[in-house]
Amino acid sequence: MDIVLFNPAPRAGKQVQRRVELPLSLLCTATPLDRLGYRVQLIDEFANPDWKQELLDAIEERPICFGVTCMTGPQIWHALEGCRLVRERHPDVPIVWGGVHASLMPQQTLSHSLVDIVVVGEGEQTFLELVKALESGTPLSRVAGICYKEDGETPVVSGTESAEAESILPVLSFQADSSCAGGAVANNGFRWTGERPFVNMDEQPPLSYHLVDMSKYRRQLFGIDHVSFNSSRGCTFRCNFCWDPVMHKRRWRAMRPDTVLDQLQRIITDYDIRGFLFTDDHFFIDMKRARAILEAIVRADLDISISKLQIRADTICKMDEDFLELLVRAKVKRLTVGVESGSQRLLELIKKDVTVEQVVEANRKLIPYPIVPIYLFMMGLPSETPAELEESIQLAVQLTDENPRAVKTFNIYTPYPGTQLYDVCVEYGLREPGNLEGWGYFNFRNVAAESPWLPVATKKMITALDFPLMFLGKGHFVNPYKKTNPLVVALAKLYYPVARYRVSNLDTRWPIESKFVKSMGLFGRQE
């Protein structure tokens, strides 16, 4: 292989409901190379239990480089495991990191001995130029959008130093600008080549899906095979817990409706897949575009199922009856709504710009329609009190009681570096990890070992109720639109009365079942 790209498993531990997602970020990066004739292989740890052997086979001969994508969290540990295999086999092969974490923390990521180059931001054009430079021996300083080690050295960035030195994309601590491309700026042993403009999504070719085994990524929902699909990037809103405003600078970019339709038709024709999970951060930012896409799907009679569209509650409130009926005609099955909290104070703290009343209104507005709203909540936001967590639980109960189709999910807040809310956590006493491995403990299924931004009583409440909250609502943890192991279904039904009692009474005494589940790593653990 000329290029080997690695998608590490996103979570640690076993997964009761294992979901393998199409590695869209790697496909976006690989497609331009594939179209130019490079031999590219994608290794997906989560999709292939025998990934190590697949990786060793792929690097039997020395590749031009080895690329990794990674989020903050346990995925970092798995990413480093893959890098070690490559370094042991080919010590001189450049190891390139991209993705959210490396883009948010390029200097500290680059300080690791298993990382040689960091792609900051979107990778399509940057990685293509980087590969060409590595292949031809062209100076890396001419490739915009990367950080790399000067003279192959491994600079050291300590925890406290990195907090001061590390700055967020695209203005790194050297204050480089676009003029740096072709004249890289050095800082503490690193070189930064300047920021690269965002890609034009309409100019990107259809993804090279043949680089992966599509059969591994078919996810059955409502009896139909689904795969992930992305039609836009970025978000214009200012939620300060989210890394998106940092990475995309609140700039939203999207494919034209005809491009979206063409790409959906290609997948239907080539793979006979008619279900789609849109990964757009907010599909409805441009309502005219959203309407045009949905109307085009109806006119073309694609006979597809759309089982994920992310939307805000206030956007649903703005929809008239005609728009809601269009969703049904386009066979939109589920809408994912980020509620975050039932406390208005916390919603204002995180700059959600949505009211609890709007959430309730949106839920009631969807009741007449055969659409499953999935409400996402966060526990453990900075300064959250037990009373405010109870407000979130009560709101979730109200939503699921009023709308029999409604489903909720509670996750535990994870501070992402570079976000405004992360800085709030630092003010409360959060100690930034001193090395790359330390970020692996940032896991949305666990309360951080040190979480000074939380009152002790709230931390205890979250630890005890995290597992029982999965059973809140009429779905009893198992939703009717997805296939679940029969044994899990049976155990869930047995446990449901206990879970309901705990949640209804906020009973945090002797949380034996929660500790057992965590110890078994059934829903992703910190290692």
Which residues form the domain of 76? 3-192
CATH number, domain of 138, equals 3.40.50.2300
Q: Cα separations (Å) of 328 from 20, 88, 231, 312, 367?
A: 27, 54, 20, 18, 13
DSSP state of 376: E
Q: Domain for residue 49, yes or no?
A: yes
DSSP state of 429: T
Q: Domain for residue 101, yes or no?
A: yes
Tokens 């969703």 belong to residue: 327
Q: What was the pLDDT predicted at 488? A: 74
Which residues are paired to 337 by β-bridges? 311, 375
Alpha-carbon torsion (362, 368, 369, 370), positive or negative: positive
Q: Domain for residue 55, yes or no?
A: yes
User: Which among 293, 284, 282, 355 is positioned nearest to 319, based on CA atoms?
Assistant: 284
Q: Domain for residue 282, yes or no?
A: no
Q: Domain for residue 107, yes or no?
A: yes
In order along its 527 residues, the chain shows pLDDT tens digits of: 899 999 999 875 555 555 789 999 999 999 999 999 999 999 999 899 999 999 999 999 999 999 999 999 999 999 999 999 999 999 999 999 999 999 999 999 999 999 999 999 999 999 999 999 999 999 999 999 999 997 654 444 333 333 333 433 343 433 333 333 344 555 667 899 999 999 999 999 999 999 999 999 999 999 999 999 999 999 999 999 999 999 999 999 999 999 999 999 999 999 999 999 999 999 999 999 999 999 999 999 999 999 999 999 999 999 999 999 999 999 999 999 999 999 999 999 999 999 999 999 999 999 999 999 999 999 999 999 999 999 999 999 999 999 999 999 999 999 989 899 999 999 999 988 999 999 998 877 767 667 899 999 999 999 889 888 888 766 555 666 666 677 777 877 888 888 888 888 888 887 887 777 766 655 543 32
Two tokens, residue 102: 């490396």
Q: Domain for residue 482, yes or no?
A: no
- Please report the DSSP string for 37-93 in residue order: T--EEEEETTT-TTHHHHHHHHTSSPPSEEEEE--SSTHHHHHHHHHHHHHHH-TTS
User: Which among 344, 365, 362, 363 is positioned nearest to 353, based on CA atoms?
Assistant: 344
Q: How many domains does the chain have?
A: 1
Q: Domain for residue 84, yes or no?
A: yes
CA distance 211 to 27: 8
CA distance 2 to 41: 8
Q: What was the pLDDT predicted at 338? A: 97
14 touches 522 (CB < 8 A): yes
Sheet holding 146-149, edge to edge: 40-44, 3-7, 65-69, 95-98, 117-119, 146-149, 190-192, 185-187
Q: Domain for residue 25, yes or no?
A: yes
Q: How many Å from the N-terminal Cα to the C-terminal Cα in the chain?
A: 33
Q: What was the pLDDT predicted at 160? A: 33
